[in-house]
Chains A and B, each alone.
Chain A
């Protein structure tokens, strides 16, 4: 076992240490906290590269690519609860992605948050987030993964509500936390079930782990009351956790609201890493998802994977439809993230780990690029987020425009030169060959069309035409001075943009059908380079179809928004003029929030009202009856007391009262002085005991 495997824990520990040290820093120590966070992240990045090269070496030398380190945590009864970490291709690739994107976003944040009062707090939370996320990645135990998972949720809550003085941000933070908690509850139940079935929560433990052959066979063979294999039930419960974290339908409502947080947070947590944790979790427990009994054919998908596929496909289209009608630049990207996460889930369901994970990695790069570009736009337009009030920025912010365009083309899946094309094609190709149904393929294609359309709409609104920022400012009576002109962002913000943009282009090269490096890396084989990969069954038609779809989407976007420049911010949307009814439904996000408001939340408050009523009237009534009974009895006792006993005692009582008054002066009513006396007495006792022991 090499040095890096033994010390893999350092990768999350360094950012955690940085978070701890930053938490102790004073508010004005900005440079120190930023340097600490970036330094720790940089070191983690270097260590991740070491880990990555270690896995590469193991693969080229034909050694087993998975190495684990387990250690006992604590003893419970006669059982040892073990935790551990592992290094396998999946971990290695995620480590490099998270630390690299994280590092760039840290650098970007120094520019974006430069004017914020709580700069140090921001970096403390960001480092803590990075530590927790890296912990999720290296965990070899579902329990350790769950603990880091919850920490990630906590930091997400803290960062969404970073500007907690804004009521909307505080509400969004609460919504995100509670919604993901619903999924996490199912996750926890699944974890307990898994422990009762497998007796361990370690993933891999020399044949005894819960994802290894013996445990899987036992779980598949064990049928529950309703005739479902235990493994399916557990997999579905764990998937529910992933649904919450990755914003899949029906728990997607929190992710768009999470855009209330600072933009670097949206880029790091709600686009690149945390929301991808759900996808990563499904990839991690993939053996459990795909476990089937020997009787069933290996070709047909398991129930769990079917659910994953359907949820993913539905989410992909659903969110893309909503994104078409949004006006907030970050909200469009948020719905696009939800939609792309749906693609990843679908990819995992139909094509296995490599297909879904490839899209996860490429998406992490281009979506954080898009978010940081959006942040740069917002920064340049003086905190304006409504795309109807932007426009004409391509000349004023050339670097942002160029990098944003790269990100947008990668997201749309523009053919051949952008990474999104290859990863999306891999998913569509796998969906086409799915044995159950062709519908996910059609849904995925529709989603791709919508993606190209709404991104074109956004880019035309933001970067082309004339600037509509001015007209808005003239409308407000408070602005007497000249309207502020948008400006390009500082180099600390544009540098990460350029770096990410080049990654968004180059990364596509590692997963083309001719050189499926990514696929073979994850399965631990050496890649083979062959152009014949393009000629494999069904690949060229899918590539042509998706190319056509992308061009169709771009053309539709141009037809609606590009033909005539958009002149005024108050004009209705081109699509709104055409189909006002449908547009309104989409703009209101299919009324999902309202539906929840009227069902779940109302039931909840009705239940609360009922409990309150029960408490107030039923239980309180019982208590009141008893107390009235006691009151009556005591009234009887008092009358006997007053008229029979009292007078004879009065004299004696007077004496007691006077002495009592004297003694009462000792009672100052300050508990601490009593305690002090007790302390002194105790010290005296100790002294006496010591002294008497000596003599």
Chain B
């Protein structure tokens, strides 16, 4: 049996890796990949708390995560579409060159 804390540590590690990717990378696609990693860390937390929680037979955690994965898939599609559209306009996916939102 894996204790809850190991699961949480793993998910924290995954989250940090994803977050570091989002912060450090310049390529929009790789940032999107980082976001996916962070999402999956959250999913892992759901599953872990469900599994070690008070009612593991109720399937709530699994349902939550399935929805979350579904939403994440849609989100990735939207994100990629955005990146493609940005690329068509600006011929780059380097995120630090895209600063038209500057005040």
B95 touches A669 (CB 8 A): no
Residue from A667, A671, A679 with most neighbouring chain B CB atoms (10 Å): A671
B23 touches A663 (CB 8 A): no
Q: List the A side residues contacting B96 at CB < 8 Å.
A: 670, 672
Cβ-based interface call for B1 (8 A): no
Q: List the B side residues contacting A31 at CB < 8 Å.
A: none
- Pick from B23, B31, B59, B101: contact of A77, CB under 8 Å: B59
Cβ-based interface call for A658 (8 A): no
Cβ-based interface call for A665 (8 A): yes
Bits for A631-671, please: 1 = Cβ < 8 Å to B, else 0.
00000000000000000000000000000000111111111
Q: List the B side residues contacting A675 at CB < 8 Å.
A: 22-23
Question: A449 to chain B: closest CB distance in Å?
Answer: 55
Cβ-based interface call for B99 (8 A): yes
Question: B25 to chain A: closest CB distance in Å?
Answer: 8
Complex alpha-carbon distance, A663 and B98, angstroms = 20
A669 touches B101 (CB 8 A): yes
Q: List the B side residues contacting A537 at CB < 8 Å.
A: none
Q: List the A side residues contacting B103 at CB < 8 Å.
A: 663-667, 669
B95 touches A671 (CB 8 A): yes
Complex alpha-carbon distance, A666 and B103, angstroms = 8
Q: List the A side residues contacting B100 at CB < 8 Å.
A: 669
Cβ-based interface call for B50 (8 A): no
Complex alpha-carbon distance, A77 and B58, angstroms = 9
A676 touches B23 (CB 8 A): yes
A667 touches B23 (CB 8 A): no
B window 38-92: CB within 8 A of A: 59
B99 touches A679 (CB 8 A): no
Question: B63 to chain A: closest CB distance in Å?
Answer: 11
Question: B34 to chain A: closest CB distance in Å?
Answer: 10
Question: B58 to chain A: closest CB distance in Å?
Answer: 12
A679 touches B19 (CB 8 A): yes
Complex alpha-carbon distance, A331 and B61, angstroms = 54
Complex alpha-carbon distance, A342 and B19, angstroms = 56
Question: B82 to chain A: closest CB distance in Å?
Answer: 12
Q: List the B side residues contacting A679 at CB < 8 Å.
A: 19, 23
Q: List the B side residues contacting A670 at CB < 8 Å.
A: 95-96, 99
Knowing A679-B19, A679-B23 are in contact, say whether A669-B102 is a contact too (CB < 8 A): yes
Complex alpha-carbon distance, A669 and B59, angstroms = 43
Q: List the B side residues contacting A664 at CB < 8 Å.
A: 103
The residue on A at minimum CB distance from B101 is: A669
The residue on B at minimum CB distance from A77 is: B59
Complex alpha-carbon distance, A626 and B95, angstroms = 36
A667 touches B22 (CB 8 A): no
Complex alpha-carbon distance, A459 and B6, angstroms = 68
Q: List the A side residues contacting B101 at CB < 8 Å.
A: 667, 669, 671
Question: A78 to chain B: closest CB distance in Å?
Answer: 9
Bits for B1-36, please: 1 = Cβ < 8 Å to A, else 0.
000000000000000000100110000000100000
- Could you jot down 9 A-B contacts, CB within 8 Å? A667-B101, A669-B98, A669-B99, A669-B100, A670-B99, A671-B95, A672-B22, A672-B95, A676-B23
B-binding residues in A (CB < 8 A): 77, 663-672, 675-676, 679
A669-B103, A679-B19 given. 9 additional CB < 8 A pairs? A665-B103, A668-B99, A668-B102, A669-B99, A669-B102, A670-B96, A670-B99, A672-B95, A675-B23
A-B pairs, top 6 by smallest CB distance, nearest first, are A664-B103, A669-B102, A669-B99, A667-B103, A669-B101, A670-B99
